[in-house]
Structure 1
């Protein structure tokens, strides 16, 4: 009789024998499947693996092997399912994870080639975290689906990482920027790609495309400029700057257009940007051009502020312009106008004097400015009874404007008070020759020429000599300076002017050419250290300048014109005349009070 222990031992022996047989059979099936896979017969391999899985369904290697066979037969979906099953049985197997990613990638590639971008994207999102080179395909799917924002986000994230080769990523982002119309960022990405690989054909082609866009936009901008269509030109030059942001020439053209459109702040920014982009190389022609355009913009902006009554702002802008170009006389003229409007006549005279010294050909406007400032300072000195300085100022005013009768009248009054009778008589005659009906001069005639009429004075021989001298002086004052003008004014004299010191008597001398018979030694004084060579003539180009050319003083806008100074003098004279007329002929204003009746008391 068989015991229980003997039965257990026999069953164990049978089980061991059966497991050995199963293992041997499974190994045989695996060997056969590998042989079929090596000869590219995945169907036969799959049959053997299926038999093996019936014997041992918990073996992850069998699922992995079947996935390889399915991958070889391009049945990617079943391959993914088998790898997923294998990962459930062996979740820590990194080889299975990489195999799953590759299978997803290959299946996504087939979907991508078929144009099924949305389905391919689902698989690429699984893949690119394990295999980063699939990121470009993932971004391509987003682009084909016109979902650009996730594509840009993925690119930024990946480029910011420490990736050894970023050329493809940078070029793809550059194309995205170009698709968005952001040519500037596209340009930056292309340049960065070329730094990594200077021989990249795709980067070179993209750079050539940007250069072509830039040249076309620049040509169109110039064409619109010639047609005086400035807003269209501005739009085109903006496109040129976007495509080539490191080219300073585009900023100069845009700044000039902004200046013509009176957008002065934007123009100043463009010129400063152009100067910064060439590293402030003073010898570079582009820097010189930008500097001159900047000066023009500061000046026009200051003139605009001046005409609107913002004199301090105008002074600030003109100071910046003078700091940029200290040799332009028009800037000193405009700053002098600002000082004149603020009643700072000493500073105004200093700026006008600097402009006079720098000018190759002194305009009539500058002469009259100097005359008006000297006249104003002379009137102030006369009111303070500083007669010698007042006479010097009126003498200098006549040097710059010898045909203004009022200046002669004022100087005659001062000379009469200083007992310079003969010189005062010459001034009275010259004033009557220029303006016979001058009401201010007539009272002085009776004082200086008692018993003589105006007609007798005008028709006298001495008056004729003075008239000839006046004509000669007008011809002399109209002669232009030449390039050989030499000024030996000392800096001390300018500093004294800037401090408001008006002691100018030592700066004047006798005119070198005048008839000896005429005793009018201070009629047209000249400055001692001013030597004007008039052997030739300097031609001043007064034609319209090109958009990007800096011209002379005649092309600069001025804050005030000569007529404005005439208006100021006329207004002052009219105001004084009205006050006198009011005092002499106006009726007094009696207070409007009710009558007061005083009753007398009866006694």
Structure 2
């Protein structure tokens, strides 16, 4: 039906805009972009013609251009999401570059591009995009926090492999800060603390790991090394175990409450 309308009004920018939206909904992104580009060109021509006419018409033309730009950003983003789902991370990144060039105020674009960088092992670029999104969104937004936690845990693991144990512990601490309910981050930091001969920190993180991930296969050997002669029940029921549990629950509750308020 929109094709018939365009046959009758081939210079109407609004019709190209509408068909571009339809193509985007149909996931025909190349056709959508072509129509949206055509809509931009026609709306610019309309604006020139409207300069000698009433201001109301100029305002209408401007609203068409604004909607076209918005739809272009959506199309680039949706196209990128499709590429990402197919493992085409470099192509998705390029599309999101174009989207960000058009609209620098959308946190979701930075999150998506950060995910593309993460998949390609571009850790610094991923961190920059996630931090940009964090600045634009509430800092307790779970979409941001979980990504930053995963990224810092990844960076910590790389530092650990390189023998940079203090840097690894610092990265794991940031991961814990962003997601205090993930047992694997405490496991990683506990091992880093052991390398740094910080047995108190290693034991504290082991207790958190024991509470959050009681079926972890790493628990028995770590228990023997950190609490020789003690059972898991002994550790949890000890004053130190109860204190760590209370502190851990407070951290998780504070994080959950912030997310609930979103």
> TM-score band, normalised by the shorter chain?
0.7 to 0.9
Q: State which of 3, 12, 20 in structure 2 corresponds to 1:247.
A: 12
Query: Distance in 2 between the 1:348 and 1:360 partners?
Result: 18
Shift of residue 438, structure 1, vs aligned partner: 1.7
Q: Does 1:290 align with 2:68?
A: yes
Mark the CA change 1:254 to 1:362 in structure 2 (over 3 Å): closer, same or farther.
farther
Tell me the equivalent position of 2:214. 436
Tell me the equivalent position of 1:448. 226
Shift of residue 433, structure 1, vs aligned partner: 0.8
Contact persistence 2:140–2:255 (CA under 8 A)? no
Shift of residue 352, structure 1, vs aligned partner: 1.5
Greater Cα offset, 266-275 or 426-435: 266-275
Mark the CA change 1:479 to 1:324 in structure 2 (over 3 Å): closer, same or farther.
farther
Match of 1:430, SS? Answer: helix
Tell me the equivalent position of 2:137. 359
Q: State which of 397, 419, 428 in structure 1 corresponds to 2:175.
A: 397
Tell me the equivalent position of 1:237. 2
Tell me the equivalent position of 1:132. none
Tell me the equivalent position of 2:112. 334
**Between Structure 1 and Structure 2, whose CA radius of gyration is higher?**
1
Tell me the equivalent position of 1:164. none
Does 1 or 2 have the higher relative contact order (CA < 8 Å, sep 6+)? 2
Shift of residue 460, structure 1, vs aligned partner: 2.1
Q: State which of 222, 227, 246 in structure 2 corresponds to 1:468.
A: 246
How high is the TM-score relative to the length of structure 1?
0.39
Shift of residue 323, structure 1, vs aligned partner: 0.6
Match of 1:309, SS? Answer: coil
Please list the CA deviations of residues 121-178 of structure 1 after superposition, one character each: whole Å capped at 9, or x if unmatched: xxxxxxxxxxxxxxxxxxxxxxxxxxxxxxxxxxxxxxxxxxxxxxxxxxxxxxxxxx
Q: Does 1:264 align with 2:42?
A: no
Query: Distance in 2 between the 1:441 and 1:401 partners?
Result: 21
Tell me how many residue pairs correspond in the alignment. Answer: 249
Query: Distance in 2 between the 1:455 and 1:479 partners?
Result: 29
Counterparts of 1:104-503 in structure 2, within 5 Å, are 236-279=1-44, 284-360=62-138, 363-480=141-258
Match of 1:455, SS? Answer: helix
How high is the TM-score relative to the length of structure 2?
0.87
Shift of residue 249, structure 1, vs aligned partner: 1.7
Contact persistence 1:361–1:480 (CA under 8 A)? no
Please list the CA deviations of residues 506-535 of structure 1 after superposition, one character each: whole Å capped at 9, or x if unmatched: xxxxxxxxxxxxxxxxxxxxxxxxxxxx9x
Shift of residue 476, structure 1, vs aligned partner: 2.3
Contact persistence 1:314–1:338 (CA under 8 A)? yes
Please list the CA deviations of residues 536-591 of structure 1 after superposition, one character each: whole Å capped at 9, or x if unmatched: x56xxxxxxxxxxxxxxxxxxxxxxxxxxxxxxxxxxxxxxxxxxxxxxxxxxxxx
Tell me the equivalent position of 2:54. none
Unaligned 5+ segments in structure 1 are 1-235, 482-533, 539-603
Please list the CA deviations of residues 172-201 of structure 1 after superposition, one character each: whole Å capped at 9, or x if unmatched: xxxxxxxxxxxxxxxxxxxxxxxxxxxxxx
Contact persistence 2:172–2:185 (CA under 8 A)? yes
Shift of residue 448, structure 1, vs aligned partner: 2.1
Please list the CA deviations of residues 5-53 of structure 1 after superposition, one character each: whole Å capped at 9, or x if unmatched: xxxxxxxxxxxxxxxxxxxxxxxxxxxxxxxxxxxxxxxxxxxxxxxxx
Please list the CA deviations of residues 71-120 of structure 1 after superposition, one character each: whole Å capped at 9, or x if unmatched: xxxxxxxxxxxxxxxxxxxxxxxxxxxxxxxxxxxxxxxxxxxxxxxxxx
Contact persistence 2:117–2:126 (CA under 8 A)? yes
Query: Distance in 2 between the 1:268 and 1:480 partners?
Result: 39
